[in-house]
């Protein structure tokens, strides 16, 4: 009897077509779920008969309680090589192998700039007005050339965002707790004296930090108050780095010009979530990693992981 593999959160219905699953077709039946499971009970019920699960990014937590309810599960594959919502000790205790996949930093870099440019030039507002026979020009765009781009984090993604900013003729500065002048010099950026100095001096601020104890809530009401009223904030990293209530208050009160957000405290967003109706907000449904090339990588590597697991030699193990 073939093993059963569940692919979670296949919202676009492309998982089984965007990669070649034929190498494991004789041994594994693949079933994709286009809907998100709202809670652990629903997830446990649907996954009870599966031996393998493929999950996207960090949207679906796998705590000890869930592993205990899935005695048939033997292999869990997460896209990317880092996942903070999987209890690795519990996985090991229940005999579950956890593996990751390669992931490209290009898609989130590109989406960061899509949000930033969309905000700066009022693209959504102007497009909606044009299509609805509304006013012909109602916004005045914000310039990029000569303005300051402040980056919180200058890792792989932040560094590439910096280089694009420089290509636009922006002045780029960056800050994180252990950032050095040597690293900023590598990409042609300036090292900000402090987080506060970066926020107060930037016309655009973009977040590119990993979520951890030291970055959770890093940008709260006090930090948002430092931003210029003409400044824009972009977050394609993790929602919890920016205090969501403080951001909503700043947007509603017009204390910043706008925000571009791709990550949320709850995903998918409930229908009545305040982020859906916040003013001055350009929001996308966590599209940072969603590109054809990245999906081909994720699911192609998932097939390789399954093949290796079936051969008794798991690859790209996590935890």
Would you call 286 a catalytic residue per the annotation? yes
Long-range CB pairs of 26-31 (<8 Å, 24+ gap) are 26/2, 27/2, 27/3, 27/310, 28/2, 28/3, 28/4, 28/52, 28/306, 28/310, 29/2, 29/3, 29/4, 29/5, 30/5, 31/4, 31/5, 31/6, 31/7
Give the DSSP H/E element, type plus range, for residue 152: strand 148-152
Residue 273 is a catalytic residue: no
262 bridge partner residues = none
Cis peptide before 73, with omega less than 30 degrees from 0?
Answer: no
Query: Of the listed 57, 148, 208, 238, which one is catalytic?
Result: 238
- Close Cβ partners of 230 (under 8 Å, ≥ 6 residues apart): 142, 203, 257
Contact indicator for 86, 34 with CB cutoff of 8 Å: no
Establish whether 182 is a catalytic residue: no
Spatial distance between the Cα atoms of 6 and 49, rounded to a whole number of angstroms:
9
User: How many Å separate Cα 258 from the centre of its chain?
Assistant: 19
* DSSP-assigned states of every residue in 154-201: -SHHHHHHHHHHHHTT-EEEEE-TT--HHHHHHHTPEEPS-HHHHHHH
CB 102 within 8 A of CB 81: yes
Catalytic residue, chosen from 110, 267, 280, 316, is 267
What Cα–Cα distance (Å) separates residue 43 from each residue in 77, 94, 128, 156?
A: 16, 17, 38, 34
Give, for 52, the enclosing helix (H) or strand (E): strand 52-55
Catalytic residue numbers read 238, 267, 286
């Amino acid at each position: 009897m073939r093993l059963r593999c569940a692919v979670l959160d296949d919202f676009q219905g492309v998982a089984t077509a965007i990669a070649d699953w034929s190498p494991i077709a004789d041994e594994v039946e693949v079933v994709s779920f286009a809907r998100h499971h709202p809670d652990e009970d629903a997830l446990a019920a649907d996954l009870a008969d599966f031996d393998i699960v493929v999950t996207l990014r960090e949207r679906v937590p796998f705590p000890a309680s869930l592993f205990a309810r899935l005695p048939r599960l033997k292999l869990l594959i997460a896209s990317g090589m880092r996942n903070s919502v999987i209890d690795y000790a519990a996985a090991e205790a229940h005999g579950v192998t956890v593996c990751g996949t390669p992931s490209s930093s290009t898609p989130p870099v590109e989406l960061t700039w899509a949000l930033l440019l969309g905000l700066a030039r009022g693209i959504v507002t102007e497009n909606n007005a044009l299509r609805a026979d509304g006013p012909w020009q109602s916004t005045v765009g914000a310039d990029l050339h000569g303005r300051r781009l402040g980056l919180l984090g200058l890792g792989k993604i932040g560094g590439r965002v910096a280089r694009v900013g420089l290509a636009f003729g922006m002045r780029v500065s960056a800050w994180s707790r252990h950032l050095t002048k040597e690293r900023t010099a590598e990409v042609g950026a300036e090292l900000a004296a402090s987080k506060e100095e970066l926020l107060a001096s930037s016309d655009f601020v973009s977040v590119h930090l990993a979520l951890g104890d030291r970055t959770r809530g890093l940008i709260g009401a006090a930090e948002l108050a430092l931003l210029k009223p003409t400044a824009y904030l972009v977050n394609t990293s993790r929602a919890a780095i920016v205090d969501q209530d403080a951001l909503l208050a700043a947007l509603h009160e017009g204390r910043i010009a706008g925000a571009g957000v791709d990550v949320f405290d709850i995903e998918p967003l409930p229908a009545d979530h305040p982020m859906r109706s916040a003013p001055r907000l350009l929001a996308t449904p966590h599209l940072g990693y969603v590109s054809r090339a990245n999906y081909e990588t994720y699911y192609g590597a998932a097939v390789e992981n399954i093949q290796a697991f079936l051969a008794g030699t798991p690859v790209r193990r996590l935890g």
